[in-house]
Amino acid sequence: MPLEYALQNRGKFGDAGPWKLSTAVEAKLRDVLGIEALPRQICDRAKRKPFIFNIMVVGETGLGKTTFMNTLFNTDLTEEITHEYPQNNKTVTITPTAYDLEEDGVSLRLTVIDTPGFGDQLNREANLFPIVDYIEKQFEAYHRAEKSPDFRHAIPDTRIHAILYFITPTTHCLKELDVTMLKSLSDKVNIIPVIAKADTLTFEERDELKHIILRDIEAHQIKIYPKEYTDEPDIVSELDKYIPFAVIGSDTFVDVDGKKARGRTYRWGSVQVENEEHCDFIHLRALLMDACLQDLIETTHSKHYALYRRGQLQIKGRPESILECDEAYESRIENTKKSLAEEMMKKEEDMRQNFVAQVRETESLLREREEQLIRKKQEFLQEIEDQRRQLQQEEQEVNALLNERSLNYSSTKKIFGKKN
């Protein structure tokens, strides 16, 4: 009976599928309902808990990383205690510190992960392993939380959303350690290259160093953010010219036309941190806070963590068909939809071209037939005209014969009348 019912009603009720919704019927409101309050409710709900942002700072000792972070987030972040002599650091130590920032009712749980000891040893080959190990441990913890019974509860996110990689301004190219670090980490986290202490360079030296760094990044096929990861082409086009960002950090204020501004004072004058003519600080802060903060978090989850999760599932022997159910499945669906739409457009265009060609061919045949009919009509008219002239000629001949016969008869009659 179910099979018979299914066969009888086949095609009447379409299956919406697990990811689809049935077609909705548009209904008009008779009065105000209050739907416009939904975005406000979502915004208010989002403000109830702090947003999470985890940023790692990597660079050699003495590049002013802590001062720059204080300048970047416009606060005094607690400085971590480090060794007095850098050479005493036998390895890289990972020191995460969390801060609660609040502005206009929006809370941000900021975690700054410092890496003291990086680049301080003569043998720097081991500098990479503690950083990579820490990043993968955060992925592992998140993956383990996803598989727990409390999966539907909020998972503490300790994954690294961005790395500010500080490059020394005295270098003439990327060092071997820099290339190794950037190449190894570019597939695991969003890397933003930064030239530290830009006030030690002239404008010409700064531009030349940027050009050399970009050349080395392209030569070693290093992926950097936002160029390689973001889906916002407008952001890339606006910030492309500032990468790598040449920045200055300062905890002090200088007097500029009667106003206080963060900067540094020298014998020859002063440099201002937030002056775009002096450095790229405001563009880097705009990237991190104004434009791409949420995108950094989403990219970490949808690309870097998804790649790690995929690798873990493959290690456990999960087949490709199962892996299609992960976060990348949605992007595959979108790509499939896009390709199908393009294919349909192509087919539609081919059908239109075929229809136009058939119409033109039909018009050509009709025009040819019309011309044939016109020629036949002209031939028939000409034939009728010839026949009409021929009839007129024969009629004239007949009339002439009749007239001649009538004359002959009259003359004969006169002759016979005289004889009688």
Which tokens sit at 49? 């808990």
- What pLDDT, on the 0 to 100 scale, is given for residue 64? 83
- Are 189 and 296 a contacting pair, CB within 8 Å? no
> Mapping DSSP to helix (H, G, I), strand (E, B) and coil, where does residue 82 land?
coil
Q: How far apart are CA 156 and CA 50, in angstroms?
A: 12
Q: Cα dist. 378→247, 302, 387 in Å?
A: 91, 78, 14
Q: Indicate left, alpha or beta for 34 from its phi (over 0: left) and psi (-120 to 50: alpha).
A: left
- What pLDDT, on the 0 to 100 scale, is given for residue 416? 63
Q: Indicate left, alpha or beta for 314 from its phi (over 0: left) and psi (-120 to 50: alpha).
A: alpha
- What pLDDT, on the 0 to 100 scale, is given for residue 191? 92
Given CA atoms 203, 205, 206, 210 in this order, what sign does their dihedral have?
positive
What is the full per-residue pLDDT of the chain (420 aa) written as tens digits?
Answer: 455 555 555 555 555 555 555 667 788 888 888 888 888 888 888 788 888 999 999 888 888 888 888 888 878 776 544 444 444 555 677 888 888 888 888 888 889 998 888 877 666 677 888 888 999 999 999 888 887 776 566 788 899 999 999 988 887 788 888 888 888 888 889 999 999 888 888 888 888 988 999 999 888 888 888 887 766 666 667 777 888 898 888 888 887 777 888 888 877 778 888 888 888 888 888 888 888 888 888 889 888 898 888 888 877 766 555 555 554 556 667 778 888 888 888 888 999 899 999 998 999 999 999 999 999 989 888 989 888 888 888 888 888 888 877 777 777 766 666 555
- What pLDDT, on the 0 to 100 scale, is given for residue 290? 83
Q: Which helix (H) or strand (E) holds 111?
A: strand 106-114
- What pLDDT, on the 0 to 100 scale, is given for residue 84? 45
- Are 89 and 126 a contacting pair, CB within 8 Å? no
- What pLDDT, on the 0 to 100 scale, is given for residue 9? 57
Q: How far apart are CA 119 and CA 1, in angstroms?
A: 76
Strands 269-272 and 259-266: antiparallel
In 127-272, where do the E strands start and end?
A: 162-167, 191-195, 245-246, 253-256, 259-266, 269-272
Strands 106-114 and 51-58: parallel
Integer-rounded Cα radius of gyration of the chain: 44
- What pLDDT, on the 0 to 100 scale, is given for residue 20? 56
- What pLDDT, on the 0 to 100 scale, is given for residue 236? 63
